[in-house]
């Protein structure tokens, strides 16, 4: 039996990136890509100098699959003010971003992973 897989078609992704781009094509957009240790989501990278940003983003991570195609983007937030002990600002910002992303890309699926995360 022969099994083949086709790459996902290229489509718009957050921050001016495109789903399915190779690392080389991502770099041609002017994005700096720094490789990290491979993780359970594929080839892990940190993105710098993205075409678009959001003001409260601190670090943007990405994952490229076995076929060198971008399929995952993680945006890590800057630290929120310690003067908001109940987290109202964080919850409000999360709800805002979640609504915008759901409207544009469809409802997200939650994933949970136990363990320590070495992000950078």
Question: Domain check: are 29 and 48 in the same one?
Answer: yes
Same domain? 91 vs 45: no
What tens digit of pLDDT does each residue of 17-51 get?
A: 999 999 999 999 999 999 887 677 788 999 999 99
Confidence at 6, pLDDT banded by 50, 70, 90: very low
Instruction: Write the pLDDT tens digit of every residue in 78-88.
Output: 887 777 778 78
Assigned domain for 42 exists: yes
Q: Do residue 49 and residue 70 come from a single domain?
A: yes
Query: Residues 14, 71: one domain?
Result: yes
- Look at the chain and report how many structural domains it folds into: 2
Is the residue at 30 inside a domain? yes
Does residue 65 lie within any of the structural domains?
yes
Buried b / exposed e over 6-16, threshold 16 CB at 10 Å, is eeeeeeebbbe
Is residue 68 domain-shared with residue 100, that is, in the same domain? no
Residue 116 inside a domain? The answer is no
- The pair phi, psi for residue 39, each rounded to 5°, is -125, -175
Query: 18 and 39, same structural domain?
Result: yes
β-partners of residue 70 are: 64
Range of 35's domain?
A: 1-77
Q: How far is CA 99 from CA 13, 21, 33, 103, in A?
A: 15, 25, 28, 6
* Pair (36, 87) in one structural domain: no
């Amino acid at each position: 039996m022969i099994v083949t897989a086709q790459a996902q078609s290229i489509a718009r992704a957050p921050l001016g990136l495109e789903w399915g781009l190779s690392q080389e094509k991502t770099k041609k957009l002017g994005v700096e890509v720094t490789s990290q240790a491979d993780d359970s989501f594929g080839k892990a990278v940190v993105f710098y100098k993205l075409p678009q940003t959001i003001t409260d983003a601190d670090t943007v991570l990405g994952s490229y699959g076995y076929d060198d195609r971008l399929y995952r983007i993680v945006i890590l937030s800057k630290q929120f003010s310690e003067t908001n002990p109940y987290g109202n600002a964080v919850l409000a910002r999360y709800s805002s971003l979640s609504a915008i992303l759901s409207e544009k890309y469809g409802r997200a699926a939650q994933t949970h992973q136990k363990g320590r995360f070495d992000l950078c």
